[in-house]
Structure 1
């Protein structure tokens, strides 16, 4: 029987972290494969671990008195575990992302939905993947599309010799919901409402970040496009290397709070209405689209007028949809569609990566 994986989790009590821990007992492993053992848990100001690497329980984290370890100290602690060790980073923390090379060089595998690790300036990407070995692995499926098989699909295309020519789609559940509501592909008897009203409804329903500007600036989509572009072989330096169309009116970029932004947003409804009207004149609908043009080494993020009958136009709710155009698939793209946001589906993607790592290290 192989050794059990020692599992360390950063961000154990956030939305994704809590969903991950709740679902962890349900993972299905190959016969005779031992289940992973939790040896380290952390949240913002609490850590739980034992010096002898014996298992810990999530219920004990809140009352833990374990001394806080810095990231270098944590790497040192985990590196001397008697079993193969996997670090699951369920945060979006930049400092944790920048420590990935250190963990990998300490023979610790990384699993994470943290987009910042893979969309930061190119040197960090290079440092991460140059540190990967047969026993120090990196999996980050959930950094794009939550639990959807987007990165694994792209990797399979590339590794089996297909030539990816273009990737495009709706990469944000928030943007999907906003535009599917604001400019539905099918006519509705009732008006969907003004842009500011729809943003307000999305915020109240939890579809946006507490400050909607964090969604409307387009940076989330841009990060995902950087990741996919790099997986496809493009050397994209950073998110500042290509155009990103922000949906924040320039006059509101300096709003002091989310409340002020929402109060003043109705004054700018006409601009978004004009996009929708122009698209309708052309028999199209407006959508917020990310594009990776692999053949021409170009990336772009912004509003697009798309044909009514296209897969992107037909999206419902907050679904993501990603189209892979390749030589092998010809004129019909390989399409991946489904829920691209949410704690449970993101945690599912992280868990699926964990199963892959256990199988590879077992």
Structure 2
């Protein structure tokens, strides 16, 4: 976790909504996200596939797929609203002030360009380095991310590197221009367990060295409990619970968060005890329930949960939750 966190917001996202164009009209994929990242902080984002995690992050940099668009909201980063910027300005911010590590190193690199050409490009575009200077700096970056040989590897093509080495190249590209924010979108998904641990350690060594703020998107709540300061739990395009890592992992209040934690593998679970699962799937955004989106899968649902979605309201300390039952329980505790 981060040693020192400033309360100055580096990024403030308000009412982010992302829509997808369909044959019958637009459907909201992300339905009103509010997020704040403070300087020096590590924010974890967790949830099942299809809950809007990656889409929300891609929208910040203006790199959504063609069928998607930001329909409303603001994202103020270092004093600038990212959604109000021209593409030319966003292109300057991408790679220079905001680094992005994509989840699949196998497909994120250009297969017909050498590693050196891909690493040199942001250094020449953002930092204004000459060809030779950029090439030499690219070699130093490879050494920094733990690829032996440094400059001798620059002439290699992506297919000549292992998955772990390709992800290290992606990390080198993301921090080449010393950004203030690093977004890691499930950066260990396609890697084996040993390499995953190495990549996590590498990113956090670099974070401490350069003083980065980090948004880490993951399915792995156990990992986030170890590396994040705060965690936001996404479900069906919105945040259903947010709080400190300790609050979320030790005393979750939303039934979805509780279900995620109950379904995590635990050492010494005991003979004969089965791993709990969450029945069903997140709803199709085009067929989202009228009430709470998690209600059809929730063991604690009540009649009111089927009528209207609960608001994301403050709870104890830094926690927020969107659950009628959790709100009632919180009120009972303060009586």
Q: Is the TM value for this pair above 0.5?
A: no
User: Normalized against structure 2, the TM-score is what?
Assistant: 0.36
* TM-score (structure 1 length as normaliser): 0.34
Whose strand proportion is higher, 1 or 2?
A: 2
